[in-house]
Amino acid sequence: MTHVDHQRPSAVDFYRRSLDCVHCGLCLPACPTYQALGVEADSPRGRIYLMRALAEGRVDDPQSIRPFLDRCLDCRACETACPSGVRYGEILETVRTDLEQKAPRRGPGAWLVRTLLTHVVARQNRLRLLFALLGIAEVLGLRWLAERLRLLPASMRAVAPRIPPRAERRPLPTGVHRPAVPVRGRVGLFTGCVMEPLFGRVNRATLRLLLANGFEVVVPAAQRCCGALLVHAGLAGRARPLATANLDAFADVDVVINNSAGCGCALKETGHLLGNDRAQAFARKCRDISEFLAEVGLTATPAPRRARAAYDDPCHLCHGQGVRTQPRQLLAQVPGLELVPHDRPEDCCGSAGIYNLLQPALAAEIGNRKVESLAAANVDLVITGNPGCMLQIDSHLRRIGHRATVRHPVELLLPP
């Protein structure tokens, strides 16, 4: 069933909301690009000023402000720091979409990004095929050859993960999964697009964890990509049909669980994306796995794990969703696990979707600061709940030769 988006907020609405910014500057120390570059226009306050000037017709060439908007990671740290409650992420995404509609990017690079996001990442079957082909290429040694011949850009070589084995990439069986213990409730599980082929083990661990704690789990076959990467790229129009499909796919469950901070933030902002009451209702029933389990409580004791571990907050979980204490509360219940603090738990790691591919030098500088903080904590494990963060932190740890491995919280919460 298709629903009209006649209530969807307009660019004018968000221009008005930008006036909430009083230019106090409290966002500047929280902004990773301002920390790295020290340029006012590369701060949230500066970008709001530029976007406001564009809306008021004081910018002759819209392309002149685009580099400053492109360099924003949309990490939402400024929203945490802002005393005025400015919804910076929504303003930025609205302006990016408006720019993309009025003045689409040109050139082969822009075409490739649009094509991959729209026709591959957002379509699970095509994404599965792509990873199958990449897996075959890796087995045949073609990746090694491409690296030796420098056919892969340096930025991609640094962050591109090894393709997991075929068994790990297989999708979860759709339908209803019933626990072997007394049933406490019924939830839907959002499996995501990138989580499945890169972190299939995390999806399976999430399913096992929910079942072990007494929940029936519905994995709808009709679910689609959350659309987060499309929205960040200014392609919100391409994301709306995906969001509408998810409203229908999860219509019969009262709680929708996800294990990816970026996806979870996008799902909770479906009301903003579609602008109707049904989307708002859907957004209210979306929960991160740690948020949900901390609320209902664990009934299955996690397996012992003797290790020093640092929990690192994904931006779209702590800043985007306000979920901070819950993962730590759950990890504190793992027998033998010593949680160690580090200096930059809520700083961005520089991943930000595909930011580390589009802005490799800046992403690397931001990532270096994160990993220096983690390395100083002298831990065996780094625990974080977002696939991009897991990949980015792991690549930087490998680069400096650190022994720590990166794991998702659910992997530590499984019973024996």
Report the CATH number that the domain containing residue 70 is assigned in CATH: 1.10.1060.10
Mean confidence (pLDDT) of the chain = 90
4 is a domain residue: no
Q: Is the pLDDT of residue 350 over 90?
A: yes
Mean pLDDT of 88-115: 88
First to last CA, the chain: 43
- Please check whether residues 201 and 284 belong to one and the same domain: yes
pLDDT for 5 = 37
Nearest to 247 by CA among 288, 286, 275, 279: 279
Residues 311 and 374 in one domain: yes
Residues 157 and 183 both lie in one domain: no
- The answer to whether position 3 is within a domain reads no
pLDDT for position 151:
62
Residues 161 and 266 in one domain: no
The reply to whether 290 and 311 lie within a common domain is: no
| pLDDT over 60 at 1, yes or no | no
Residue 148 pLDDT more than 70? no
For the chain, percent of residues with pLDDT exceeding 70: 93
Whether residue 5 lies inside any domain: the answer is no
Q: Does 322 lie in the same domain as 291?
A: no
The total number of structural domains in the chain stands at: 4
Rounded to whole angstroms, the Cα distance separating 43 from 363 reads: 15
Read off the pLDDT band of 72 (50, 70, 90).
very high
- Alpha-carbon span 406 to 400, nearest angstrom: 14
Q: Distance of CA 16 to CAs 95, 98, 276, 345, 379, Å?
A: 13, 15, 20, 33, 46
Range of the domain at 25: 11-102
**For residue range 121-131, what is the model confidence (pLDDT) as tens digits?**
888 889 888 88
Question: Which residue shows structure tokens 């050139």?
Answer: 107
What's the rounded Cα separation, in Å, for the pair 227 and 242? 7
Q: What is the CATH number of the domain that holds 396?
A: 3.40.50
Which of 80, 102, 124 terminates a domain? The answer is: 102
Measured distance CA(54)–CA(18) in Å, rounded: 12
Instruction: For residue 209, give the nearest of 285, 283, 297 by alpha carbon.
Output: 297
pLDDT, mean of residues 16-20: 84
Q: Is residue 45 domain-resident?
A: yes
| CA torsion, ordered 242, 247, 248, 254, to nearest 10 deg | 150
Q: Are 246 and 224 in contact (CB under 8 A)?
A: yes
281 assigned to some structural domain? yes
Angle at Cα 37 formed by Cα 353 and Cα 263, nearest 5°? 15
Residue 18: pLDDT band (50, 70, 90) is confident
The whole-angstrom separation of Cα 41 and Cα 49 is 8
350 and 232 housed in the same domain: no
pLDDT digits (tens, 9 = 90+) for 211-221: 999 999 999 99
pLDDT reported for residue 55:
87
In terms of domains, do 289 and 176 share one? yes
| Range scoring the smallest mean pLDDT among 134-148, 225-239, 344-358, 393-407 | 134-148
Kindly report, residue by residue over 226-256, the tens digit of the pLDDT. 999 999 999 999 999 999 999 999 999 999 9
Domain endpoint, select from 102, 124, 143: 102
* pLDDT band, very low/low/confident/very high, at 283 (cuts 50, 70, 90): very high
Q: Are residues 291 and 309 in the same domain?
A: no
How many whole angstroms separate alpha carbon 330 and alpha carbon 333?
5
- Whether residue 202 is contained in a domain is answered as yes
346 is a domain residue: yes
Q: Are strands 175-177 and 215-219 parallel, antiparallel or unpaired?
A: antiparallel
pLDDT at 342 over 90: yes
186 and 133 in a single domain? The answer is no
Residue 331 lies in a domain: yes
Q: Judge if 286 and 316 occupy the same domain.
A: no
For residues 33 and 90, membership in a common domain is answered with: yes
**Domain end among 51, 76, 102:** 102
Task: Determine which of 119-123, 311-315, 333-337, 380-384 has the lowest per-residue pLDDT on average.
Answer: 119-123
Which residues lie below 8 Å from residue 22, measured CB to CB, with a gap of 6+? Answer: 84
